[in-house]
């Protein structure tokens, strides 16, 4: 069937506007004014984005299956202890789906590219909050349960999601004037919530000594997740291996694909560790820990989503306002073989 369909043409880096350029990726670019149909058809041909899309689209269904398993097998309606896990699994479904959609439709226009990745950043912010909610409920070491840090942990995590979304969205504009500065902002936007969310886990695994350190079999899974998280951060920041051999990893094996793969594997180990801590520590946590309520689980997630959508809307407004005014300019730019523009990753 696909042999009867004319697949979209792919281009080299010199044939697309600079805003679509990826560091050390020379070929495999889709048309910068692709239609929605062309974007979907490109899923079934090899471009430099194909594996970026599938490495997040397929895991979405895996996490959705895990979410449905929890909903169907556990008494989630009356057992509030399961609510943090629900929030985490929902965020695990949202962030790879948002990423795959962003990579799929980001070549419809320059404005579409920015807005698509705004939603991608918002989804990552939600995932960071989902992690924090489960860490507060199941992972925090015994010594810190009911401490001042524990009481303010979720509110600060919500604030971090706002900062993360805003910084990541802003990085796309700051990168116009200074690509390195924009890249720094984006790394900071992702690193800030991750490092804060993991303070209880880092303390539990690496600093805590003596009674109340929650030293159990789950710690091995947490170690694996942390190692994979730092590996994904390394790949995102360094653009290896394609930086060592530009053009050699355009279609298969470049850093963003590896970033997706190891990120998903890391999320899987994180999920396994969270579920194991939830089951193992449940009796003790129900007795001594902070009560799990709608406010510090689903309510916090809904607030985060609302604030992130507001930020995305504010950053999208200038792009939407310029849509009509810039239409003629963009068509003119498209016709030029080597279009000018800002570089975004």
Provide the pLDDT for residue 340.
42
Give phi and psi for 159, each to the nearest 5: -60, -40
Flag residues of the chain having pLDDT under 50: 1, 328, 330-341, 343-345
Give the pLDDT of residue 278: 98
Q: How far apart are CA 224 and CA 220, in angstroms?
A: 6
Q: What is the pTM of this model?
A: 0.92
pLDDT by residue (tens digit) across 7-60?
899 999 999 998 899 999 999 999 999 999 999 999 999 999 999 999 999 999
Residue 152: C-alpha distances to residues 91, 142, 159, 184 (Å): 21, 16, 11, 28
Say what the pLDDT of residue 178 is.
Answer: 76
Q: What is the pLDDT of residue 179?
A: 73
What would the two tokens of residue 218 be?
């789950």
Q: Cα separation of 130 and 157, whole Å?
A: 9
Q: According to the model, what pLDDT value does residue 326 have? A: 55
What does the pLDDT read at residue 334? Answer: 41
Q: What is the pLDDT of residue 324?
A: 57
Question: DSSP assignment, residue 292?
Answer: P
For domain 50-319, give its CATH number from 1.20.1070, 3.30.70, 1.20.1050, 3.30.310. Answer: 1.20.1070
- What distance in Å separates the CA atoms of residue 28 and residue 20, rounded to the nearest whole number? 11
- With contact defined as beta carbons under 8 Å apart, do 31 and 249 qualify? no
d(C-alpha 200, C-alpha 140), whole Å:
5
Minimal CA–CA distance to 200: which of 269, 125, 147, 155? Answer: 147
- State which H helix or E strand residue 132 sits in: helix 110-134
Beta-strand runs (E) in 58-134: none
User: DSSP string covering 1-48, please?
Assistant: -GGGS-PPP-EEGGGS-GGG--TT--EEEPPTT--HHHHHHGGGS--T
211 Cβ contact list (under 8 Å, min separation 6): 142
């Amino acid at each position: 069937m696909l042999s009867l369909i004319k697949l979209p043409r792919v281009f080299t880096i010199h044939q697309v506007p600079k805003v679509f350029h990826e560091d050390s990726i020379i070929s495999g670019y889709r048309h910068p004014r692709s239609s929605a149909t062309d974007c979907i058809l490109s899923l079934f041909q090899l471009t430099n984005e194909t594996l970026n899309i599938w490495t997040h689209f397929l895991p979405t269904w895996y996490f959705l299956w895990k979410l449905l398993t929890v909903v169907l097998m556990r008494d989630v309606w009356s057992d509030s202890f399961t609510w943090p896990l629900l929030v985490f699994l929902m965020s695990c479904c949202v962030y790879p789906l948002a990423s795959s959609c962003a990579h799929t439709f980001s070549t419809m226009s320059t404005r579409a590219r920015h807005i698509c990745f705004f939603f991608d950043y918002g989804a990552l912010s939600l995932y960071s909050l989902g992690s924090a909610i489960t860490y507060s409920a199941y992972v925090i070491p015994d010594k810190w349960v009911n401490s001042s840090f524990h009481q303010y942990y979720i509110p600060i995590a919500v604030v971090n999601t706002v900062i993360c979304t805003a910084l990541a969205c802003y990085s796309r504009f700051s990168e116009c004037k200074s690509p390195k500065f924009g890249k720094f902002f984006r790394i900071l936007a992702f690193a800030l919530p991750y490092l804060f969310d993991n303070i209880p886990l880092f303390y539990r695994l690496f600093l805590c000594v003596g009674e109340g350190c929650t030293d159990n079999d789950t710690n091995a899974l947490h170690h694996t997740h942390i190692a994979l998280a730092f590996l994904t951060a390394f790949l995102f920041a360094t653009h290896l291996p394609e930086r060592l051999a530009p053009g050699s990893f355009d279609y298969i094996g470049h850093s963003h694909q590896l970033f997706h793969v190891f990120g998903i594997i890391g999320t899987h180990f994180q999920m396994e560790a969270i579920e194991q801590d939830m089951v193992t520590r449940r009796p003790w946590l129900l007795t001594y820990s902070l009560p799990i309520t709608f406010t510090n689980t689903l309510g916090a997630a809904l607030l985060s989503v609302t604030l992130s959508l507001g930020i995305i809307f504010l950053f999208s407004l200038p792009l939407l306002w310029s849509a009509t005014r810039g239409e003629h300019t963009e068509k003119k730019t498209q016709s030029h073989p080597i279009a000018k523009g800002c570089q975004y990753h």
